[in-house]
Structure formats: structure tokens, C-alpha cells
Amino acid sequence: MGAGAAALLLLGVLLLGGSPASAALEARVVPPAPRQGAVAVVFLAGAQGARQVEGSLGGRSLAFFQYGEGYAAIAGIDLEARPGKTPWRVGVVDSGGEGRQLRGSVTIKTRKFPVQRLTLPTHMVDLDPETTRRAESESARLKTLYETATPERLWRGSFTRPVGGEGKGEGFGSRRIINGQPRLPHSGLDFSAERGVPVVAANRGRVALVADFFFPGRLVALDHGLGLYTLYMHLDRVDVSEGTLVERGEPIGAVGASGRATGPHLHFAAQVRQARVDPAALFAVPLRD
């Protein structure tokens, strides 16, 4: 085994008793040194027949699902996560009720984000009190949604881009200065497209929210299960309703310029619970059905 492969393999230590015959727990995190905004996967082996599998990375809960002969969990690295070592933990309760734990750490790497300067109408930047209350209420509603983790995995296979074309999307994590004022970093990818171009679901999921908010405009939020969400914003129209289960590539709306937008485009965002992650990372998640 090479040094690189050995670095990925994290052997477990039997911490809470357990049977000598129990298979050794083995966990690996891919990638082992994720950048800010990354989507990491925690793979777990040696837990066949477990009654319970749970864990955390960087203080955020991990939702494990059966994957092959073992388990896996998606971990989101927020775009503003502090660089450096971040602890992870996995706990397993076997069929006999005995518990084992693994502990380790990953090293989060700094990612350089561009600075973007925009000029918008004053009323879209310096909000009056009523609009401020509206925007804050809408933001709180989204944060509450992200804390709701459907206990089953709904997505299947790889994720696909939500609009046609060749562009990769741009702007994730950019530090925005709007009308000379520093604002929150841009938490999604912008895909340039003409008004009315179909927008499709990046993967199988349930429509968790359809709304018309001040900043995002008309939006659709898809719940892919286990705390993973994708969002489609600034839509011209919405073609689905809340509660509907949609398949990968199924139309859900059309590109528009609703909300605070400088022109027609799709703002495509992804969340793993409260972690704002690069949607492009979903296209490369190392999970195959």
C-alpha cells in the first residue's frame, strides 16, 4: 500500500468493550483534506449488521446509509469553515448492543475565492424596515428547512447539471461587494441562460419548498434525503408543487430573473444541513449505485 493510500485508511480502536470476534472498524474520508465548500464522503467498513451507526464531522451530525457491504455518509464543509484540523467521530452499536467508536481528523484546506463587484438599484441593497423583516423571515425559514433531515436517501447515482449547455457555472464563494458594501459570500453557482430555458432536478428528490422570496425570487428547494438539499433560484416559473417526488433530469421550472437579479440566469445552490457547499462538488461525489 502506498503512502497516499495508507493516509486514507483510518483504523478503528475498540473503545467501548465489544467482542474480540468483531470485525475491525475501518473508516476513510474522501477527500482526506477537503477544501472549503467541499462535499466529503465518510466510508465505514466492519459494521455489518449494526443496530445503529452515527457520527459527526466538525460538530455536524453525519447521517449514514448502507452502501455496498458497509456504510457511507455525506459531510458538508462550509465555504467559510475554519482551515486546519477538524475532528470526526463514528459510533456503532452492534446487534448485541455493544458499542464501538472511531475518532480521527481531516485537514480543511483554504480555498481562494474571487472578489465580485456589483452595482444594483439602491432599493435592492439598502432595504427599508419592512423589506428587512421580510428578508430575515425568509432566511430563517430556509435555515429551518436545512435542519430537517429526511431519514432516507432519496438521490440515486450521479448528480447532473440543472440547465443545458457547456458552461460550468461560476461565482461560488465569491466575496461580493454590492454598491461598495461588503456582503455575504455568494453561496451558489450562476448558470447563464435565456429566460424560459428549462431547469431540471439535479437528482431524485422531494420538493420541500416552493416560494417567492425577496432575494432568491421564485425558488424550488429539493430534499434529496439525509440533510442534502439543492436549490434553484430566480426562476421565471415553477412547474412543480411541494411534496412531489421528482426524478433526476425532470423539469421543475424555467430560468428567469425574479428576485434580486441583474438578468436571466439560474442560481443553483447546495446545502448539507447548514453547510453551504459548492454544487459542482456534487457532480464528483464518489458514490455509485
Please state the domain extents for the chain.
Answer: 3-108, 115-282
Angle at 187 (CA atoms; ends 186, 189), nearest 5 degrees: 90
Residue in this structure with the C-alpha cell 440515486, named with its chain if needed:
156
Alpha carbon 191 to its chain centroid, in Å, reads 18
Alpha-carbon span 53 to 100, nearest angstrom: 10
Alpha-carbon span 258 to 266, nearest angstrom: 10
Instruction: Note the pLDDT of residue 21.
Output: 45
Instruction: Note the pLDDT of residue 268.
Output: 98
**Which CATH number is correct for 115-282, 2.70.70.10, 2.60.40.10, 3.40.50.300, 1.20.120.1200?**
2.70.70.10
β-bridge pairing 64-67 and 70-76: antiparallel
Grid cell, residue 17, equals 468493550
Instruction: Note the pLDDT of residue 125.
Output: 85
Alpha-carbon span 207 to 98, nearest angstrom: 39
Instruction: Note the pLDDT of residue 4.
Output: 43
Instruction: Note the pLDDT of residue 193.
Output: 95
Query: What is the maximum alpha-carbon separation in the chain?
Result: 68
Half-sphere exposure of 249 (CA within 13 A, CB side): 4
Whether a cis peptide bond, with omega within 30° of 0, leads into 185 is no
Residues 6+ apart with CB under 8 A from 215: 135, 138, 259, 260
Q: What tens-digit pLDDT sequence spans the chain (289 residues)?
A: 444 443 344 434 434 344 444 578 999 999 999 999 999 999 999 998 899 999 999 999 999 999 999 999 999 999 999 999 999 999 999 888 899 999 999 999 999 998 888 888 888 888 999 999 999 999 999 999 999 999 999 999 999 999 998 778 888 988 888 888 888 899 999 999 999 999 999 999 999 999 999 999 999 999 999 999 999 999 999 999 999 999 999 999 999 999 999 899 999 999 999 999 999 999 999 887 7
Q: Are 186 and 171 in contact (CB under 8 A)?
A: yes
Among 151, 17, 14, 11, residue whose Cα is nearest residue 96 = 17
Instruction: Note the pLDDT of residue 244.
Output: 98
Category of 31 on φ-ψ map: left (φ > 0), alpha (ψ -120 to 50) or beta: beta
Instruction: Note the pLDDT of residue 22.
Output: 59
Q: What residue spans of the chain are helical by DSSP H?
A: 3-8, 129-146, 279-282
**Which CATH number is correct for 3-108, 2.60.40.10, 3.90.600.10, 3.20.20.70, 3.40.50.300?**
2.60.40.10
